[in-house]
């Protein structure tokens, strides 16, 4: 399969590297960070995993999507603040039959991609992997988890089966779901509990549970978000969102969350699509979200 990864951050690199290890795949990592792309093309993409370094040489880096050309699958992995701009800038990989898969954090990406390339070719999902960028051409796989993907209409199609098969072949454990919106909210609640708190405290994911005063805030933020999800009629795939979020903290214990990485790297965070989205959706549903409001404002202050 010919695959473009739009956004070669830590997560994009993880998927790009794994997919490129299957000889029948042709994988392009697309990013504007020239030094990173040059390092990938010169030395391969180096992934630190379980204390070992592996270099993936089959993956190609490009800054110009035109060099990759039309692909069968484009996995969108840019920050959700950049979704529209990245799809616009990389139109060259999207042909009439290209399937766009968003595995991004936060609420709103599906609609942003649909607005650019049309309704029929967008599928969505979530990933529970954790990854950290170490420098140009180098990243760490910090925690493993499942990838879950699905068609927006919930149907079991041939293309979703094929794409799930391609991910599984690349050693990425993958399930198919008939409830994509529920999936996005499943992940949203995890990010609501982990990302802002790690960004504010600078703790790694697992350390959030070692400080009771922080753990209480995690519980409160996720419970508020769960209230909003229930009011909107969203069906989550688990009954205990707080317990599930804590399990993700444990599974990705050594990871610096994506929001903490953004804060440390002085980048804009995805706060508006995570805790900020809960505040907005809560206001629409008449559900108070004071903890998410405080977390949103603190992150906005820090990033300012
Ligand atoms: O945003 C992140 O960092 C990740 O979604 C997660 C699961 C919180 C792991 O760090």
Query: Of 52, 55, 51, 33, whose CA–CA distance to 42 is shortest?
Result: 55
What percent of the residues of the chain are helix, what percent strand, and what percent coil, each to the nearest 5? 50, 20, 30
User: What are the extents of the domains in the chain?
Assistant: 2-178, 182-303
Q: For position 102, what pLDDT does the model report?
A: 97
Pocket test for ligand 1, best of 184, 201, 255, 275 (most atoms within 8 A of CB): 255
Partners of 130 in beta bridges: 143
130 ligand 1 Cβ < 6 A: yes
**Atom 9, ligand 1: which residue's CA is nearest?**
130
Which pLDDT tens digit goes with each residue over 14-51?
999 999 999 999 999 999 999 999 999 999 999 999 99
| 142 half-sphere exposure, CB direction, 13 A CA radius | 24
Ligand 1 centroid, distance to 136 Cα (angstroms): 21
SS3 62: strand
Q: For position 91, what pLDDT does the model report?
A: 97
Which of ligand 1's atoms lies nearest the C-alpha of 194?
8
Q: Which CATH class is domain 182-303?
A: mainly alpha
Ligand 1 centroid, distance to 171 Cα (angstroms): 20
255 ligand 1 Cβ < 6 A: yes
Dihedral Cα 50, 129, 121, 113, nearest 10 deg: -120
pLDDT above 90: residue 182: yes
Per-residue pLDDT averaged across 159-188, rounded? 96
Q: For position 119, what pLDDT does the model report?
A: 87
Question: What mean pLDDT, rounded, does the chain reach?
Answer: 96
Q: Which tokens is 173 given?
A: 């454990």
Dihedral Cα 133, 31, 93, 90, nearest 10 deg: 130
pLDDT above 90: residue 126: yes
Whether residue 149 contacts residue 104, with contact meaning beta carbons closer than 8 Å, is answered with no
| Residue 57 DSSP code | -
Lowest mean pLDDT among 65-74, 123-132, 288-297: 123-132
138 is catalytic: no
190 ligand 1 Cβ < 6 A: yes
Partners of 54 in beta bridges: 47
Catalytic pick from 18, 79, 138, 187?
187
Exposed e or buried b per residue across 209-245, where buried means at least 16 C-beta atoms within 10 angstroms of its C-beta: beeeebbebbbbbbebbbbbbeeeebebeeeebbebb
29 burial (CB, 10 Å; 0-12 / 13-18 / 19+) is buried
- What is the CATH T-level fold of the domain 2-178, as seen in this structure? Rossmann fold (3.40.50)
Which H or E element spans position 49?
strand 45-49
Ligand 1 centroid, distance to 186 Cα (angstroms): 12
Lowest mean pLDDT among 131-135, 286-290, 295-299: 131-135
Q: For position 72, what pLDDT does the model report?
A: 98
pTM of the full predicted structure? 0.90
């Amino acid at each position: 399969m010919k695959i473009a990864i739009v956004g070669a951050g830590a997560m994009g690199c993880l998927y790009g590297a794994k997919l490129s290890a299957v000889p029948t795949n042709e994988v392009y990592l697309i990013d504007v960070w020239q030094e990173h792309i040059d390092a990938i093309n010169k030395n391969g993409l180096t992934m630190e995993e379980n204390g070992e370094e592996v270099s993936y040489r089959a993956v190609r880096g490009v800054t110009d999507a035109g060099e990759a050309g039309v692909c069968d699958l484009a996995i969108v992995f840019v920050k959700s603040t950049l979704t529209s701009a990245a799809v616009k800038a990389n139109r060259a990989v999207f042909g009439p039959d290209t399937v766009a898969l968003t595995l991004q954090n936060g609420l709103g990406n599906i609609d942003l991609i649909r607005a650019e390339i049309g309704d029929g070719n967008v599928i969505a999902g979530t990933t529970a992997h954790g990854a950290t960028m170490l420098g140009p051409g180098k990243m760490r796989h910090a925690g493993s988890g499942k990838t879950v993907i699905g068609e927006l209409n919930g149907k079991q199609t041939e293309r979703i089966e094929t794409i799930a098969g391609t991910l599984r072949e690349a050693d990425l454990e993958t399930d198919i779901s008939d409830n994509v919106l529920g999936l996005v909210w499943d992940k949203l609640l995890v990010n609501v509990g982990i990302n802002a708190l790690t960004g504010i405290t600078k703790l790694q994911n697992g350390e959030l549970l070692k400080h009771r005063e922080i753990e209480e805030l995690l519980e409160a933020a996720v419970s508020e978000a769960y209230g909003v999800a229930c009011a909107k009629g969203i069906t989550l795939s688990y009954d205990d969102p707080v317990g599930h979020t804590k399990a993700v903290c444990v599974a990705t214990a050594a990871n610096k969350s994506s929001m903490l990485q953004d804060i440390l790297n002085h980048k804009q965070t995805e706060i508006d699509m995570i805790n900020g989205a809960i505040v907005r959706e809560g206001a629409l549903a008449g559900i108070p979200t004071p903890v998410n409001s405080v977390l949103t404002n603190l992150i906005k202050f820090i990033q300012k």
